[in-house]
Amino acid sequence: MILSDRSIKQEIKDGRIIIDPYNESCVQPASLDVHLDSTFIVFQPWEYPHYIDLRQPLDKLSSTVIIGKEQFFSLQPGQFALASTIENIELPDDLMARLEGKSSLGRVGLLIHATAGYVDPGWKGTLTLELYNVSPMPIHLYPEMKISQLSFHKLTTPVDIPYGDPKLGSKYFGQRGPVATKYFQDFKQPNLISFSESETDKSRNKILNTNKTFKHWLEKSRFQGQIGKFSEEIGIPNKTIQNWLYRDIKPSKKYERILYRFMQRERILEGAVSYPFDLN
């Protein structure tokens, strides 16, 4: 049974379906419009090893692009990119949802999911979009535009084991923003082929690991992952902080000193146990 607009509104009112942020005007006759966030993951086919090995994490083959509210992301003909909904979505154990494309976007050749259109009962998190441009021209995508719609389906009974239960090993439960594949976790055997481990790669990985630590700290801090707020408070350009988070760049000595002083204050305010960067 597919929920009507009346039923969707009632389920949201009762707190059984959680949509955050939610605007009642986005409820359609039998679906709910969701919006495009500003972060994209794109493949870099020129990077080593130049192929996708599903036994391996694919961090080296992709990069993250963040655009401002007044900017656009240009999806090229034949290009594939991951994006995400702005909305955080939570479902009870007796409802599932389907992510569907919007007719107006399909008419210009934009596909919004390759296969992942199914949202399990018990789901919690934003939804990753698998964007693909099948048109002969670039398509400009804007933050906060309506990108897709969700239809909700009533199950015959509540499920025995909802998504997110530890028994399932749900890979994407609670995700925020676009998340690359974790399919490699399904392989039990040792990795038979590893990515290049040259000295350059090791140095690069050290920086990336450091930046991941900072990203994790920022998400858990009072800034809740919002780069703009952190940038404004600490007095460091937004673009510079994005480079630390998403590119192979470590803070300069000047910014290290600023970060160090800031973290000293944060240890008092937030009870931090470690610094997001290994600052000397």
Among 24, 87, 90, 130, the active-site one is 130
How far is 212 from 219, CA to CA, in rounded Å?
A: 11
In one-letter notation, the amino acid at residue 58 is L
47 is catalytic: no
Distances (CA, A) of 175 to 9, 41, 122, 225: 24, 14, 13, 13
Q: Starting at the earlier edge strand, list the strands of the sheet with 39-43.
A: 62-66, 39-43, 80-84, 128-133, 110-111
- Provide the 10 A C-beta neighbour count for residue 276: 22
Catalytic residues: 130
